[in-house]
Amino acid sequence: MIKGIFPGSFDPFTLGHLDIARRSARVVDKLYVAVLINASKRSAFTMDERINMIRAALDGESNIEVISFDGLLVDCAKQYGASVIIRSLRDSSDYLSERQMETINKRLCPDLEIVYLNSAPELMHISSSAVRELASYGCSIEGFVPEINRKIIIERLCKNG
Ligand code: COA
């Protein structure tokens, strides 16, 4: 049984992330979507909010489980028995930063494999920070985030209520 882990800050989870999670779940037997603390970023949503939004978006995906982890990604993978880390690539700048992270993770845990999925072309422009910025000005985030999460994101982030 191949277990994979799709880690990220997911602040918030976007349609780009949803696409990668669903596609990854077809290539591994069990997928953990892992919400990790990124110490260098201040998050807009609490861990519980992020997890609940991801669970709502992935409702019905029987081989996906949403988890949280505060520590190293390689330790999270070990704890859950995952042998594959899934990351997504939107463009060449993602590639460069991912290579650096891969090198570090491989040094920490040589047995782990990192598998990259290219973003769907129509979702390449999406990022969590763009969602946060648009929502904070009350702009539409339709087509950026799962429909089921749209209202809560606007309510939480829109400066004009
Ligand atoms: N669709 C939409 N957005 C995407 C995306 C996709 N397919 N792929 C990447 N992104 C965006 C995210 O929205 C996010 O955008 P933002 O910066 O504008 O908010 C950005 O890419 C990076 O997000 P993410 O993939 O979640 O990475 P991250 O840098 O926030 O977190 C961790 C990466 C959590 C996996 C990493 O920090 C980690 O492993 N932390 C644990 C500590 C550790 O093990 N450190 C050692 C390894 S260096």
Please report, in tens digits, the pLDDT of each residue of the chain (161 residues total).
Answer: 999 999 999 999 999 999 999 999 999 999 999 999 888 888 999 999 999 999 999 999 999 999 999 999 999 999 999 999 999 999 999 999 999 999 999 999 999 999 999 999 999 999 999 999 999 999 999 999 999 999 999 999 987 66
Q: Taking a C-beta distance cutoff of 8 angstroms, is the pair 141, 153 a contact?
A: yes
Ligand 1 atom with the shortest distance to the CA of 69: 41
Ligand 1 atom with the shortest distance to the CA of 20: 7
Q: Taking a C-beta distance cutoff of 8 angstroms, is the pair 150, 121 a contact?
A: no
- Give the model confidence (pLDDT) of 87-104 as tens digits: 999 999 999 999 999 999
DSSP three-state, residue 12: coil
- Tell me, what's the pLDDT at 99? 95
- Tell me, what's the pLDDT at 17? 98
Could you tell me which residues are beta bridge partners of residue 3? 30
Q: Which residue has a Cα nearest atom 31 of ligand 1?
A: 8
pTM to 2 decimals? Answer: 0.96
Element (H, E) at 85: strand 84-89
**How many angstroms is it from 134 CA to the middle of ligand 1?**
19
Mutate which of 5, 6, 9, 108 for ligand 1 pocket (most atoms within 8 A of beta carbon)? 9
Find all residues with CB under 8 Å of 37, minimum gap 6, and list them. 9, 47, 69, 70
Amino acid at 114: I
Question: In a 10 Å sphere around its CB, with 0-12 CB exposed, 13-18 middle and 19+ buried, how is residue 161 labelled?
Answer: exposed
CA 146, 150, 153, 159 dihedral sign is positive
Averaged pLDDT of the chain = 95
Mutate which of 42, 72, 128, 129 for ligand 1 pocket (most atoms within 8 A of beta carbon)? 128
- Tell me, what's the pLDDT at 37? 85
Residue 133 CA to chain centroid, in angstroms?
18
Active site residues: 17, 41, 90, 128
104 in contact with ligand 1, CB cutoff 6 A? yes
